[in-house]
Amino acid sequence: MMQARHWLRAFSCSLVVSALSIAANTTSAYAVSLENTLAIPGESTDLFPLNGSSGGANINRLGFFSDIYYDRYENVYYGLGDRGAGGGVLSYQTRVQKFSLDVDPNTGAISNFNVLKTILFTKDGENFNGLNPTLLNGDAGNLGLSFDPEGFAVAPNGNFYVSDEYGPSVYEFSSTGSFLKAFTTPENIVPKVGSIPNYVDGRPTLTSGRQDNRGFEGVTLSPDGSKLFAMLQDPLVNEGSPDGRRSQNLRIVEFDTATRSPVAQYIYQLESLAAINDRIPGTDDDFGQNSQGRNIGISAISALNNNEFLVLERDNRGVGEADPLGEAPVASKRIYKIDLTGATDVSNISLAGTNTLPAGVTPVSKSLFLDIAEQLKAAGQVIPEKLEGLAIGPQLKDGSYAIILGTDNDFSVTQGDAGQLDVCTDGTAFTLVSIDSGCPSGQKLLPAYLYSFKASGTELEGFVPPEKVPEPAATVGLMLLNFGGLLLRRQ
């Protein structure tokens, strides 16, 4: 593996990416309404230092937003890339992008996307890599530095928490991307063949644990940073009849950030397949029974307070590398508000072999917060496949909040018979070309999208912004101020 001691720092140049702003209907019957959309060109690059060498899809092409985090104290954002182009078969040094975004304080409309830093994830001077464990480590049971980052949060002290699909894992990094500690993954979630971990294969090889490529898709912190919640994308491979692909019951794991140990697990129920298929015209394009816990899943979770969260749930349809023209009908791109109050801790309860919950097991409650697909369709906009990033943005002048969503465009790369191929399109036709060879005239790589929705203060009632540990200088200043006040009172 490439040594990377000289990459340990964050790259602090700034890169303004030309983004197309797409207007939206600003009048809506919804309490949460679409304000506008930014299209980030698929050809855009990050700030990876090339040092004279050439870039490319798996070098410095932007490929997020697998998650988005808004730091309201610094007024900056973080956009997380995943394991890179090629689905874990091409080497890629995993990273997070720090970026700025202007938000109109009256409307919530977004503009001026600007990459500020590219931060690589490292451990002991080596890079974490998007290659799967078999290719990186020669062993499907050796996780090593294989890393598929999907969820991102910032601790009160500025450290990063990043969730991973391969393990699935949760890691803590410094703000410069250097590995600090790993959380303990519950044994029932570790993918295994019998009692042996296997981080690469899927069914029928796996007998228990998370499904392949369905690990911790989202992560968030309680406002005070004492609890971390990691959410699986789909049900466990063995929790369903005959397997997790037919179940709607996936798990949220609660961790104690002080001990980095799991303390509880809760069941989140995906929307029923019948309800999803009811939104598809006719029956020819209905999802099959083995799609419930595979083609329907969650993409992100964001805390409102200690018990309530926003969860982004979606199907696997829409414009993307597998369907560049968006020909398959989209049925589910939604945000739900959930509440853990009264939910059963199922840490020691197995759902193996069943699609129903045992008597006495209560899942988290959920209610519809936003139907994203319906609003994009009403605005005449493209509905992308992989809506994966979710952040509660700044508060606006009228007390409402900007809700920022982002898409993962998979680096505009797909798997073809000839290997990894770039996907080029003009919206009416598409072409697959050798990776990094350039698109035909008139066609471009698939863009990523950023969306701003405006949510009323009523819709986000109970939202508690995350805490932040004051900087040392600010802490000293506060102490001096308090001490001065004490002296004045004594005079």
Structural domain boundaries in the chain: 5-490
Please state, in angstroms and rounded to a whole number, the distance separating the CA atoms of residues 217 and 230: 8
pLDDT attached to residue 211: 97
Residue 3: partners with Cβ closer than 8 Å, 6 or more residues away: 125, 126
**Nearest one of 119, 447, 149, 109 to 300, comparing CA atoms:** 149
pLDDT attached to residue 442: 97
| Lowest-pLDDT range of 278-282, 359-363, 395-399, 412-416 | 412-416
Instruction: Provide the pLDDT confidence category of residue 17 given band limits of 50, 70 and 90.
Output: confident
**Tokens standing for 318?**
């829409």
CATH number of this structure's domain 5-490: 2.115.10
Q: Is 487 helix (H, G, I), strand (E, B) or coil?
A: helix
Beta strands at 20-23 and 169-173: parallel, antiparallel or unpaired: unpaired
Q: Is 228 helix (H, G, I), strand (E, B) or coil?
A: strand
**Nearest one of 272, 306, 264 to 292, comparing CA atoms:** 272
Which string of b and e fits 464-476 if b means at least 16 CB within 10 Å?
Answer: eebebeeeeeeee
Condensed to tens digits (0 to 9), the pLDDT of residues 20-33 reads 888 774 444 568 99
Which string of b and e fits 30-53 if b means at least 16 CB within 10 Å?
Answer: bebbbbbbbbbbbbbbbbbeeeee
**Complete DSSP assignment for 308-376:** EEEEEEEES-SBBTTBTT--SPP--EEEEEEE-TT----TT---TT-SSPPTT--PPEEEEEEEHHHHH
Residue 52: partners with Cβ closer than 8 Å, 6 or more residues away: none
Condensed to tens digits (0 to 9), the pLDDT of residues 84-132 reads 998 999 999 999 999 999 999 999 999 999 999 999 999 999 999 999 9
pLDDT attached to residue 473: 54
Please, are residues 192 and 143 in contact by the beta-carbon 8 Å criterion?
no
Q: Which residues pair with 129 in a beta bridge?
A: 93, 146
Please state, in angstroms and rounded to a whole number, the distance separating the CA atoms of residues 335 and 343: 19
Condensed to tens digits (0 to 9), the pLDDT of residues 215-225 reads 999 999 999 99
**Tokens standing for 202?**
């899927």
Q: What is the rounded end-to-end Cα distance, in angstroms, of the chain?
A: 66
| Lowest-pLDDT range of 13-27, 240-254, 292-306, 334-348 | 13-27
**Tokens standing for 402?**
């900007």
User: Kind and range of the H or E element at 16?
Assistant: strand 15-16
Please, are residues 328 and 366 in contact by the beta-carbon 8 Å criterion?
no
Phi, psi angle pair for 185, to nearest 5°: -80, 130
Q: Is the pLDDT of residue 477 over 70?
A: no
Residue 477: partners with Cβ closer than 8 Å, 6 or more residues away: none
pLDDT attached to residue 415: 83
